[in-house]
Amino acid sequence: MTLRYISIGLDYDYYIQENNKLRYEFQTHTRFISNYFSRAIRKVKFDTGNEFNMISISLLPETILKQPDIKSNDVLKAYLPFNQERYEKIKGTEDCKYYLEVLEEGLKKASEFKPIPLEELLNLIDEFKKGGCKNEWVHKKKRFKEIDIEVILTCEFTTNYFQLIATINQISTKKELTKGIVIKTIPDEIHFQKMFKDILVHKNFIIITDTSDSARVLIYIDDAKKGIFEKVFAPYIYSDDYTKEENEEYEKTHNEVIEILSYDGSGF
């Protein structure tokens, strides 16, 4: 079994009953870290000996701390005390020092219980700090020579939001024409996974598809060539295969998804 996931969070079993709102809030503010280290550790390809594929740093009140253990769902869990006062001071800010301290201490504790690639993980933490604690990556880059345009989709995953940025360049001049936010959500994969996949061109639109290969976002090409970023969400198209009531229900769901993808950053 290969180590594929790293996570930090308030202990699910305890906080789901005691304060689930706080649990989800903390998880959401730290998902960008869990996501970054999960993607990074997969490159190490560390074999855990068929015992676990995830290391979870779980925070609990000091009065009920536990020893590390391996759960039946292939998770190596290390428990640490939760300093809620420190968390409250930094939540919503760009300061991730407390989160990384939790991660480092938890990994060291886990390494005392089972062999893990501790040196590689600590090096990843140092690299993350040196990079400004940014979790950003290029999702896709595509050239459309027939219209002299290159489109780059970049992901920005932070403690406060996730957003997909489209940068549109002119191939012949190598100049940036325009740039803008395609989607923006609360910083949790559940809100943006499967919401973007490919880049297509059709008529006067650059089309961003989702993982079902359906059009999700349309960007006007003529505006982009003038240096203007103008996008719209693809509308719901009624299907003859559904009843009127079913189409209305699907349209309602479609509009709810658009609302999720149009997060205004107002907090959570």
Q: Residues 104, 153: one domain? A: no
Residue 58 lies in a domain: yes
The per-residue pLDDT of the chain, averaged, comes to: 95
Q: Residues 123, 140: one domain? A: no
Supply the pLDDT for residue 69: 80
Task: State which residues form the domain around 72.
Answer: 5-130
Reported as a single tens digit per residue, the pLDDT across 111-122 is 999 999 999 999
Res. 66: pLDDT tops 70: yes
Reported as a single tens digit per residue, the pLDDT across 6-43 is 999 999 999 999 999 999 999 999 999 999 999 999 99
Which alpha helices (DSSP H) does 72-198 contain, by range? 84-90, 97-113, 118-130, 189-192
Inter-axis angle of helices 97-113 and 20-41, to 10 degrees?
Answer: 70
- Residue in this structure with the two tokens 């780059």, named with its chain if needed: 152
Res. 87: pLDDT tops 70: yes
Q: Residues 39, 103: one domain? A: yes
Q: What DSSP designation does 236 have?
A: P
**What is the pLDDT averaged over residues 247-254?**
96
Res. 3: pLDDT tops 70: yes
Residue 51 lies in a domain: yes
Among candidate residues 83, 106, 130, the one where a domain is terminated = 130
Reported as a single tens digit per residue, the pLDDT across 73-86 is 799 999 999 999 99
How many domains is the chain partitioned into structurally?
A: 2
Q: Residues 148, 252: one domain? A: yes
Residue 266 lies in a domain: no
**What is the pLDDT averaged over residues 82-92?**
95
Q: Residues 208, 104: one domain? A: no
Residue 44's pLDDT band, with cuts at 50, 70 and 90, is very high
CB under 8 Å to 45, separation ≥6 — which residues?
Answer: 2
Residue 72's pLDDT band, with cuts at 50, 70 and 90, is low
Of all residues in the chain, the percent with pLDDT exceeding 90 is: 93
Among candidate residues 107, 130, 153, the one where a domain is terminated = 130
Q: What is the DSSP string of 66-82?
A: ---EEETTTEEEEEEE-
Q: What is the separation of C-alpha 157 from the centre of its chain, rounded to a whole number of angstroms?
A: 5
Contact by Cβ (8 Å): 164, 154: yes
What is the Cα–Cα distance from 182 to 155, expressed in whole angstroms? 10
Supply the pLDDT for residue 266: 83
Which amino acid would we find at residue 147? Answer: I
Take residue 64 and report the two structure tokens written for it: 């009920």
